[in-house]
Amino acid sequence: MSNGWEQSMGQSRETSAHWGSYLLEVDGDGLTARPHPDDPDASPAIGNVDAYRHRSRVTRPAVRRRWLEDGPGPDGRRGDPGDEHVEVDWDTALDLVAGELRRVRAEHGPSAVFGGSYGWGE
Catalytic residue annotation: 118, 120
CA distance 33 to 36: 9
Distances (CA, A) of 54 to 11, 50, 58: 23, 8, 9
Beta strands in the chain (DSSP E): 12-17, 20-27, 30-35, 62-64, 85-87
